[in-house]
Each structure stands twice: as structure tokens, then as C-alpha cells.
Chains A and B, each alone.
Chain A
Amino acid sequence: DAKTTQPPSMDCAEGRAANLPCNHSTISGNEYVYWYRQIHSQGPQYIIHGLKNNETNEMASLIITEDRKSSTLILPHATLRDTAVYYCIVSPPYNTDKLIFGTGTRLQVFP
């Protein structure tokens, strides 16, 4: 079973920031938070991951609360192409085990 909880859907206006929350209250000390997204009819795509510090890359920012029980993925300027299902996953690093995908958040970006 997935160890994360996400809202099933969210809307965002094009050009605005999309903030996608994720709860992971049972996260272990060595587990990272990973974000993937799946655009319709494509394979999941890695976005970003972090342990406890906030992270930023060319795609998004990841804000992790100090107690690590929740995080927020931020797409700073959402575009129509960001419409996808976003998955928040917790997993230890250097783990050859599988990723456990939950139901994710369906983000709809509208014009």
C-alpha cells in the first residue's frame, strides 16, 4: 500500500503556480520523497526528490516540512502541458525494491 495521501484532483490556471500537497506522516528517517508525473498515455516521468531540505530543479520545487510529515510540489508557472497525474512516493535511497504508486493527484491546467 502507498504510504502517501494526495488529493485526487486539482485545477490551476495557466501561468499560475500549482501547489500539490502530499501527506506522508509515517515516513521513516531514511526515506526520500519522490515526485513523478504521468501525462496521458505516457510512462511516468521523474520530477524531483528530496530528503529534508527544500529542492529545486528546472521542472519544479519541492518543499518538505520540518517534521517531514508532508511536502508540497510547486510548479512555478503551470502550462497546459503540465496537465497530468502527479504521484508522491516515499522510498529509501539505494533501494532496488519497487516504487509504490498511490492514486496521485490529477492536475488540470486550464487556459
Chain B
Amino acid sequence: DTAVSQTPKYLVTQMGNDKSIKCEQNLGHDTMYWYKQDSKKFLKIMFSYNNKELIINETVPNRFSPKSPDKAHLNLHINSLELGDSAVYFCASSPLGGLEFFGPGTRLTVL
């Protein structure tokens, strides 16, 4: 199936740990994104990559580091996890300037 996929779907971890969320799209899109949806359901952009290059880096702590090994992947690595990082993280992709397609989300719970 053509889609945006994320792994894992659920991630439960302790404060202070380092974790990664993987995202892959097989749609041939040039641009990939990470969004964060908090407990109040606000959905906000974190990062945007176009052809492996960082375009947008909103005000996100530098504990968050996106990595794009190739155009089809944009992984999110988080260092020293904090309670406030608990949220649902969505990966998305789009053709250049086109419509965004979202992944199913990764629910991160920091204990």
C-alpha cells in the first residue's frame, strides 16, 4: 500500500531516556514533516525537510533531532526525554508545495 508509515505506534519510556521514531513514505514525495499533537489536541509543525534538507525548524528544543537518510525517510530522535514530551507525533509528506498526507501517529508516553 502506498502510504506514510510510522513506527512504533506506541512508545512508553522513562524520563531521561533517548528514543527514536521512524517515518517512511513510499509516495515519492519531496517534502516530509514532523508534527506534534499535545493533550489539548493542538497540532503543530516541528520540522520540515525537502529532499533531505531542513527547511523549517520551529521552536523545538534541540533535544529533538530529525534525521533524513534519504528522501523517503525522516526519523525523529529525542534525547533526554521529559514529561512534557508526551504527545502524539505525526509524520507527513507532500509533493513540493502539494497536499500533505499524514501517517497514523506515534503516541509517546514519558513516565
Residues of A within 8 A of B (CB): 34, 38, 41-46, 49, 85, 87, 93-101, 103-104
Contacts and interface: CB of A to CB of B under 8 A. Distances in A.
Given A96-B50, A99-B100, A44 B43 contact: yes
B90 A43 contact: yes
**Chain A at the B interface: mostly helix, strand, loop or mixed?**
loop
14 contacts: A42-B105, A43-B104, A44-B90, A45-B102, A46-B100, A49-B99, A85-B41, A94-B98, A95-B97, A96-B55, A97-B56, A101-B43, A101-B44, A103-B42
Given A46-B100, A97-B55, A97-B56, 5 more contacts: A34-B99, A43-B90, A43-B102, A43-B105, A49-B99
A46 B103 CA distance: 12
A58 B29 CA distance: 24
Nearest to B43: A101
Interface residues of B, number: 26
A49 B97 CA distance: 14
Contacts of A34: 99
B48 interface: yes
B111 to A, nearest CB: 20
Contacts, number: 53
A44 B102 contact: yes
A39 B92 CA distance: 16
Contact of B48 (A38, A46, A96, A100): A96
Nearest to B90: A43
A72 B33 CA distance: 28
A96 B96 contact: yes
A99 B45 contact: yes
Interface in B31-68: 31, 33, 35, 41-45, 48, 50, 55-56, 58
Nearest to B103: A43
Given A42-B104, A44-B90, A44-B102, A94 B43 contact: no
